[in-house]
Structure 1
């Protein structure tokens, strides 16, 4: 169901409610107005007739000129007036004829709703000649009901015109709003195709303009993220090719040559008068060298100790290896035993992040001390990793320029965590990662 349809439907329902309530109020007010008007006319006519009988002479009564004139007065147009003698005979009757229904006449259902039952009003009178008479006044409120009907028609016509105007106004506003929405939707579809160059224009409506600016800002962020990802991918591929080249070179220089030497010595052992002891000792030395080379290569590809002994032992071995290679750097590790219970894919990512941190510290920070803290908070089910050094630090704006730091961010993000840096020139660098474990 479209928004335009929903709004129009709600306007229609609201208008119908207004018409219903307004009609009920109009009928109630018309009923009250007709009752008051009829009662006022009855009282006025009775008083006028009483005064006339008290002041006129018998000749005036027999002339009968004033009663027809009273019946045609505007104030008594809602009445039918009769004079009845004591014997029951109507001596004077000048009832107002029922109006013939015309196009302006109200419908019968409206008459039944508005019209009330008015009792016949009888008042005793004494004519100027002393005769006893009874004044009979009957209500005939059709004229007043007709006026109320015309007023109600004017009210309903006004409401209908207002409804029509509201519908037109709302649809005109919605046409403009829907055009803006269509522009925004098209821009989002363009962004979905990874075309971040398209920008939304400024809108005259403040809310749409804010949405457009937010989408443009999002497109800029996505474009920057896309460029970073492409650069990181290219860097990762370059590192991968470099590692393959190093492994190939190492296999050629170490493994191939060592195997060739073992083969030569094995052939030498087959000759007469060969120094078998010397040859076997040499073969053992070459095999030991090959074992060390293979272990080094395996450590570069994947730390087997991580699978065998867990993350804490792997971190301790990593710190030990870096301390041996860099005696000028004091490394302190504070690692909880609970990290050994982490899943394998989390443990390897944490290991690589710490490995990258140590690489950056040695290459760029020129630090003398570095502290590594890794713990698990059981209350929040989060892992807290912090690596800080006392190196030269850097400007916080330059953090995202290095591929190493970008790689660490991607690793932490892949675990659903958050990585933050705190640094300043000559004040070292502090890396804090928080990773949810649920």
Structure 2
């Protein structure tokens, strides 16, 4: 804008000075005689010696003095010897004031002087744009002052309007500070401006989502802690159950050993003594012989009972033969005790290198399944299958099925405790137990145990 105004003033002053100079030249040329008229007048004056002589320079000086100063031009009169005879007076318009030199250099036109020849001298016309430049400077200064005041008022108005318009930003910044401090209950009000109202609604939705997410995360974290605590408790219970089973088997082994070593030997000694008494030929008393024979029979029965108890407490085949042979002996024992029941056994080779705890667990699971099938299921056929399942980890699968009456809604107390014992034993080693049963369609137990192979 400043460039356009200064350029406009420069062009305006240039046109004004140029027009003033042309007017001054036309004015002076209109009163000056042409060179032909001057020559004719000179010859006439020379022939008429009686005519009074006139001085053209004096007449011109008088005329210029009467005209005075021509605005925007300085007029000077010189004689033939270039002596200054007349100079127009200085302008009284804004006398004593001048525009700054830099402004004058920007807008002052580069008009050239014009010299008009006259008889016995010349007139020099010098364009003077100082007053026009001063007028332009005053106008621009006033305009600049008005523009400055207007701009300041505009800034104040914009500041006030923006301050009022952006007042919701304080609420938004305060709300964001609350969010930063962890207060997700903060909400923004509705605003008149649609932009701020949209921000408010979006902010409220965001805080609501964050609040719900935090509540959900807290709930999930609490559930995860509870799950971890439950898993830890379950793992501790498994280890405790396993430890109980190990200690129980140790106690059973110790009791079986004591029964075999102490009571078994005593019963054997009693049987031997009774046999010796009953075998005496010289003893003629039948009553004594019969009593001795009764002692032998009772001792034999006690011996069989003790050995049955020993087998129940600790199967000796596990210690001497291995898992395969121990299971085979167990099935053979049940076949002998229950000849009316068909028991089939299917097992794979390589089942003798397991950990002792796994061996006794497998043995007890099969033993409990056979006991339940015999006592509660009223089955006529039992299938026992042991198989290894490759993978990571390698699994031993125990499958025992019968054709009995199946599991009904109310399970017998002993049967229920047997099932719980099976689950505890298997789960104590990180295994899994699954029952498949329908009333009247038999029962199938499927147990999987992770293998922990011991040394061969």
TM-score (norm 1): 0.49
TM-score (norm 2): 0.48
